[in-house]
Structure 1
Amino acid sequence: MSDTPPTTCPAVDIRGLRKSYGDQSVLDGVDLTVEAGTITALLGPNGAGKTTIVGILSTLLRPDAGTVRVAGYDVVAQPEAVRAAIGVTAQMSAVDDLLTGVENLRLMASLHHLGRRAGRERADALLAQFGLADAARKPVSTWSGGMRRKLDLAMTLVGNPAVVFLDEPTAGLDPRSRRTLWDEVRALVATGTTILLTTQYLEEADQLADRVAVLDGGHIIAEGSPAELKSAHGAGSLDDVFLRLTEPSADLTTKDAD
């Protein structure tokens, strides 16, 4: 199969995705499209399968059924091409506390097979972009939680990925640090990068996302812009929409808000 993607295609295209662990079905026919240059927030209760979807999209997990394409590449048939096109900021920090900020970034540059000079230039540019240059040569163990999370995102961007998966990127951050990271995400999308975001913070989805998809019971049960979802459910906030959709008595056949 050719590693050349279609000329125009969604950044993420999921059709009929299924995944089980033993006899427990986690994803049962998920369909989701993320257009290039946008932010889509994937919401769902704990255990709904959000992290499983990110694992499949990043080629760390293999789907049981369905088709999944990222940047035009099939995650099963073309995993190397997918990995070259993506960046992932996981729930658990990827930074090494024993290294300095610049050492973390240069290590990541080496893993991306950048030359020594190119790696140094890329590291310096990202440190400046994220406002971390002043602390660059201090051990990361001395950094604040917000600075560490910004470094996590910077490390994700070393390879200039077209598509970035952010899995609970602001978990544990204080409100000021969270909003600072939001600004970095907005700036990233302004350059054409595509973001798929999983989050437990409904305000975060409301502030950042062009589209929101709600995952529950193994399916996408609602999808639309934040404004469309609030209007469709007569709700004043995404919190209200989420609670109505995911409470035990909710109608799991809810259609798109379009």
Structure 2
Amino acid sequence: MLAAARKDLLLERLRRDGRIVAKEIATELGLSEDSIRRDLRELDAAGLAVRVYGGALPASPAVADYATRTAVAPDSKRRVAAAAVALIEPGATVILDGGTTALALVEALPRTHPCTIVTHSPTVASALLDHAADVFLVGGQLFKHSAVACGAAAVEAASRISADLFFLGVTGVHPTAALTTGDPDEAAMKRALAARAADTYVLASDEKLGAASRFRVLGLDEVSGIVADADPEAAILRDLAAAGAALVPVR
């Protein structure tokens, strides 16, 4: 089997099964594990898979640059945002992560809703200018890929926050890889913010479900719920629930 055909097959298996075990597929195809691992390294380098111990997981399309992500799954993000807004009680203090799903949440939030929003995203903060909500912006070094503040100064500022809710954005929600993102500093910032809220909810539009990125943020059982946009009968929801995730339905 030619290398191109092998890679196509590996990608099809990732889409179908949500993971690849190098030893198993090498045996199935009558190839060496080294050949499969080489293919997986090349798929990883191309951003089409994420290599893990023993195999690979589907790569998340949500690791693209910020401008590109605005056009990815906009309807799904709006559905997630509407379900998330319903969790915000009047007068609540809410930490809002950066990203395009967080921006969709701002759009869904009624402009007269009384609450306090804390965010490390200047784009999210500016989108709240016409809202009644009080807005506090956490500063630090700007991570331009996601338009959020990260680094030591941002983590230190986050340590002084106390909130009712944190809406967490990730690029991957996977039954075994858990909640992941594409940058280690951004992952650390997300953990710091989650530690400052009574409840953390994940904003999971459909392109993130079953996908994974390089850096782990939190385990599925370390958040209060995952606002997941998928068919209620979808296999990925069953797998996430079996792995310990609490799922918030999106209507």
Q: Same fold (TM over 0.5)?
A: no
The TM-score normalised by the length of structure 1 is: 0.30
Q: Per chain length, whose mean CA-contact separation is higher, i.e. which structure has more relative contact order (CA < 8 Å, sep 6+)?
A: 1
